[in-house]
C-alpha cells in the first residue's frame, strides 16, 4: 500500500504549526491578539495541561485532544504539532543535504528507557511537589519559545525596523519601529546552548531528544504503544532492503525482527515513502501487532556488510557536518553576545554626587495578576511568550531572582522598562495560566509591589536641583511632589495608590542607585483606584536635564 500522501499531510500540518508558533514568539504584527494564537496554543501539551489544572475548562483541554489523538494514531503530536519536533526535522533535512552519499542516515538505536522514563518521573514528581523546574528545562514548547523569542526575535526586530527605514527613505511611512530590550546575557546562554545541542543531536542521531529527554515524548510514547493505528511491516512483503530503518529518524525500526518500537515512533511516515515494495504501511492495529513477531534472520544474500560500509562512510562525513554546524552555532552566539543590553544603556546619571544607598529589594516583582510568587513559580514554564509580547519591554527572564525553582521565569525588570497602565497583554497570552487573564480595569488596581523613596539618593536632595521624573511618569499619582527647600519640590509616595508598575523607578535618573524603587510583594495586593480629581499639589512640568 502506497501511503506517501500521509507524509505530505504531516509535512504541511507541521510547517503550519511551526510558522504559527514562530510568528507568535517573535510577536509578528501582534498576532498574539488574534484567534490564530488560540489555534497555535490550544494543542500544546504542557501549557494546556497546566492551564487545565487551574481552570478545568474545555477551552484549556487541548492536552486531552492530544492524548486521544495519540491513542488513535500514535505520536502525531511529535510529528505535526510540536514546533521543536519540526525544528529538529528541518535540521535533520539540512544535515541530510550536507551528507553524502545520502543513503545511510540513521540506524536502529536501543531504547534508553531508564533515562527517558526517569526524566518523565522526575518532571512529574517535581511538578506534583510544586516545582516546574524540570518541565521548564525539558518541555519542548517552552524550549522552542526561548529559542524563537530570545534568539530569533532580535533578528526579526532588526529586519522589521530596517524595512521600515527603507520605506521611510522613499517617503512611505509603514510599520512602527519595534523595541527590543536585551535580557541578561546569562539568560540567553541557556537557549543558545540548548539550540546548539539540539542541532548536534538531531543532525547526527535524529529524534534522540524526543526519545530520551523530552517528558512529553516519553508520556505519549507510553500511550502510543496502544494506538489503534500503527506502522506495520508485513512479514511476507518485506525484502529487507533496510531503507525504512535507514530513514527512520527515531531509530526505532529493528530489521532483525521486523519490529517497530511504537513508543519511540514519532509518526513521521518516512519509512512508508522509501519502502521499495510499498509493503510497510499505516494500518489498523489488531491484537496481532501487539504480539512479538518471530525474529527473522537476514538472508545470506543480503549485503549486510555493505550496509555497514556505507554507514561507516556516512559517519565519517557526519563528523565534518557536525563541526560545521557547531562553528555556525558558535558564530551566532558571539553575534548575540555583541548586541547591547538595553538596560545597561541607561540614561546618563544626572546627579553630580553619586548616590550611595543601595536599593533594599527583598522580593522580585512578578507579572501583573500572577497573584503570588509561589503559585507563579508552580505554573510558569519559562516559555517567554509574555516576554516577547510585552510592549513595554519590562518582562525579562530572571536568573535566580525567584530562586532555583523560578529559573528563567519572567520578572519585571525596571531597568528595562515599566508596566504600562493601559496594558494587560501578558495575561491574555500566557498559555499556562501562570499569568491569568485580567480585564484591564481589574489589572489597573493589582498592586505588584510598592515604591520606596530614598531621599538621600534623590537629585533634589543631593544636587539641590529640580527633578520630578517619578511624579511625571506615575500613572496613579501615588508618587507626587511636595514642597522641599528653596522652592524645590521632592517626591512623596502614597502606598495605597501605588500599583508597583515601576514607571517611577524606570524614570529616576539618579545613579548608581536610584532614589525610588519598587519592592515586589510575595502575594500581590489591591491598590485603591486613583481619584479623577487633580491632586493637591502639581509641580511645574519639565525637567532641568
Q: Which of 430, 446, 493, 503 binds ligand SF4 (CB under 6 A)?
A: 430
- Tell me the CA distances in angstroms from 289 to 1, 190, 282, 294, one per residue in order: 17, 42, 12, 12
Tell me whether residue 280 or residue 365 sits nearer to ligand SF4 (CB atom).
Answer: 365
Does position 419 interact with ligand SF4 (CB under 6 A)? The reply is yes
Does position 242 interact with ligand SF4 (CB under 6 A)? The reply is no
Asked if residue 155 lies in contact with residue 339, where contact means CB atoms within 8 angstroms, the answer is no
Task: Find the shortest distance in angstroms from Cβ 132 to ligand SF4.
Answer: 9
Q: Which long-range contacts (CB under 8 A, 24 or more apart) does 531-537 make?
A: 535/477, 535/480, 537/480, 537/481, 537/482, 537/483, 537/489
Task: Find the shortest distance in angstroms from Cβ 118 to ligand SF4.
Answer: 25
Does position 49 interact with ligand SF4 (CB under 6 A)? The reply is no
Tell me whether residue 92 or residue 383 sits nearer to ligand SF4 (CB atom).
Answer: 383
Q: Rounded CA gap, 144 and 194, in Å?
A: 10
Extended strands (E) in 63-217: none
Candidates 13-21, 22-30, 106-114, 426-434 — which segment interacts with ligand SF4 by CB under 6 A? 426-434
DSSP character at residue 372: B
Does position 434 interact with ligand SF4 (CB under 6 A)? The reply is yes
Q: Applying CB under 6 A, what is the total number of residues that bind ligand SF4?
A: 39
Asked if residue 319 lies in contact with residue 200, where contact means CB atoms within 8 angstroms, the answer is no
Q: Rounded CA gap, 134 and 123, in Å?
A: 5
Asked if residue 38 lies in contact with residue 46, where contact means CB atoms within 8 angstroms, the answer is no
Q: Rounded CA gap, 30 and 37, in Å?
A: 10
Please give the residues from 479 up to 538 whose contact with ligand SF4 meets the rule CB under 6 A.
Answer: 491, 507-510, 515-516
Here the cell at position 205 is: 542521531
Q: Which of 218, 383, 450, 497 binds ligand SF4 (CB under 6 A)?
A: 383
Does position 253 interact with ligand SF4 (CB under 6 A)? The reply is no
Q: Which of 14, 21, 109, 432 binds ligand SF4 (CB under 6 A)?
A: 432
Tell me whether residue 138 or residue 458 sits nearer to ligand SF4 (CB atom).
Answer: 458
Does position 133 interact with ligand SF4 (CB under 6 A)? The reply is no
Does position 435 interact with ligand SF4 (CB under 6 A)? The reply is yes
DSSP codes, 37-92: HHHHHTT-HHHHHHHHHHH--GGG-HHHHHHHHHHHHSSHIIIII-HHHHHHHHHH
Task: Find the shortest distance in angstroms from Cβ 417 to ligand SF4.
Answer: 7
Tell me whether residue 291 or residue 541 sits nearer to ligand SF4 (CB atom).
Answer: 541
Peptide bond into 119 cis (omega under 30): no
Does position 51 interact with ligand SF4 (CB under 6 A)? The reply is no
Tell me whether residue 61 or residue 395 sits nearer to ligand SF4 (CB atom).
Answer: 395
DSSP H helices, 206-303, are 208-212, 215-224, 243-247, 270-274, 287-290
Does position 275 interact with ligand SF4 (CB under 6 A)? The reply is no
Please give the residues from 449 up to 478 whose contact with ligand SF4 meets the rule CB under 6 A.
Answer: 458-460, 467-470
SS3 for 278? coil
Tell me whether residue 268 or residue 390 sits nearer to ligand SF4 (CB atom).
Answer: 390
Binding site for ligand SF4 (CB under 6 A): 367-368, 380-386, 390, 392, 394-395, 409-410, 419-420, 423-426, 430, 432, 434-435, 458-460, 467-470, 491, 507-510, 515-516
Amino acid at each position: 500500500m502506497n501511503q506517501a500522501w500521509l507524509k505530505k499531510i504531516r509535512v504541511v500540518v507541521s510547517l503550519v504549526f511551526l510558522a504559527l508558533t514562530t510568528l507568535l514568539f517573535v510577536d509578528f504584527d501582534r498576532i498574539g491578539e488574534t484567534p490564530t494564537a488560540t489555534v497555535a496554543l490550544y494543542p500544546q501539551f504542557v501549557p494546556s495541561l497546566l492551564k487545565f489544572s487551574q481552570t478545568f475548562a474545555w477551552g484549556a483541554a487541548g492536552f486531552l485532544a492530544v492524548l486521544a489523538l495519540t491513542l488513535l494514531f500514535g505520536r502525531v503530536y511529535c510529528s505535526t504539532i510540536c514546533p521543536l519536533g519540526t525544528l529538529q526535522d528541518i535540521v535533520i533535512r539540512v544535515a541530510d543535504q550536507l551528507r553524502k552519499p545520502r543513503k545511510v542516515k540513521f540506524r536502529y538505536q536501543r531504547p534508553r528507557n531508564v533515562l527517558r522514563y526517569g526524566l518523565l518521573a522526575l518532571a512529574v514528581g517535581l511538578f506534583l511537589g510544586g516545582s516546574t523546574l524540570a518541565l521548564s528545562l525539558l518541555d519542548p514548547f517552552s524550549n522552542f519559545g526561548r529559542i524563537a523569542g530570545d534568539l530569533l526575535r532580535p533578528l526579526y526586530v532588526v529586519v522589521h525596523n530596517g524595512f521600515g527605514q527603507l520605506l521611510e527613505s522613499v517617503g512611505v511611512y509603514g510599520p512602527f519601529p519595534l523595541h527590543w530590550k536585551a535580557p541578561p546575557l546569562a539568560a540567553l546562554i541557556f537557549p543558545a546552548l540548548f539550540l546548539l545541542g539540539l542541532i548536534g543531536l538531531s543532525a547526527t542521531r535524529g529524534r534522540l531528544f524526543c526519545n530520551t529527554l523530552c517528558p512529553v515524548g516519553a508520556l505519549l510514547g507510553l500511550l502510543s504503544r496502544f494506538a489503534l493505528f500503527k506502522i506495520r511491516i508485513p512479514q511476507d512483503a518485506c525484502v529487507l532492503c533496510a531503507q525504512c530503518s535507514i530513514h527512520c529518524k527515531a531509530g526505532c525500526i529493528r530489521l532483525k525482527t521486523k519490529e517497530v518500537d511504537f513508543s519511540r515512533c514519532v509518526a513521521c511516515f518516512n519509512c512508508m515513502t522509501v519502502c521499495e515494495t510499498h509493503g510497510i504501511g499505516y494500518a489498523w492495529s489488531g491484537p496481532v501487532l501487539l504480539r512479538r513477531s518471530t525474529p527473522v534472520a537476514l538472508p545470506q544474500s543480503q549485503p549486510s556488510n555493505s550496509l555497514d560500509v556505507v554507514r561507516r562512510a556516512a559517519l565519517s562525513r557526519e563528523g565534518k557536518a557536525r563541526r560545521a554546524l557547531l562553528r555556525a552555532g558558535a558564530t551566532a552566539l558571539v553575534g548575540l553576545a555583541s548586541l547591547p543590553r538595553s538596560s545597561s544603556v541607561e540614561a546618563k546619571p544626572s546627579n553630580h554626587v553619586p548616590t550611595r544607598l543601595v536599593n533594599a529589594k527583598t522580593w522580585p516583582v512578578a507579572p501583573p495578576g500572577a497573584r503570588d510568587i509561589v503559585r507563579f513559580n508552580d505554573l510558569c514554564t519559562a516559555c517567554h511568550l509574555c516576554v516577547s509580547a510585552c510592549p513595554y519591554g519590562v518582562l525579562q527572564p530572571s536568573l535566580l531572582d525567584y530562586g532555583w525553582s523560578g529559573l528563567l521565569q519572567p520578572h519585571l525588570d525596571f531597568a528595562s522598562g515599566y508596566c504600562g497602565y493601559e496594558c494587560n497583554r501578558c495575561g491574555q497570552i500566557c498559555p499556562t495560566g501562570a499569568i491569568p487573564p485580567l480585564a484591564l480595569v481589574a489589572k489597573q488596581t493589582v498592586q505588584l509591589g510598592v515604591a520606596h523613596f530614598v531621599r538621600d539618593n534623590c537629585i533634589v536632595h543631593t544636587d539641590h536641583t529640580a527633578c520630578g521624573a517619578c511624579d511625571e511618569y506615575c500613572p496613579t499619582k501615588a508618587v507626587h511632589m511636595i514642597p522641599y527647600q528653596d522652592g524645590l519640590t521632592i517626591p512623596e509616595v502614597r502606598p495605597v495608590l501605588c500599583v508597583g508598575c515601576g514607571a517611577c523607578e524606570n524614570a529616576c535618573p539618579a545613579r548608581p542607585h536610584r532614589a525610588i524603587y519598587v519592592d515586589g510583594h510575595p502575594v500581590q495586593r489591591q491598590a485603591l483606584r486613583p481619584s479623577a480629581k487633580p491632586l493637591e499639589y502639581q509641580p511645574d512640568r519639565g525637567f532641568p536635564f
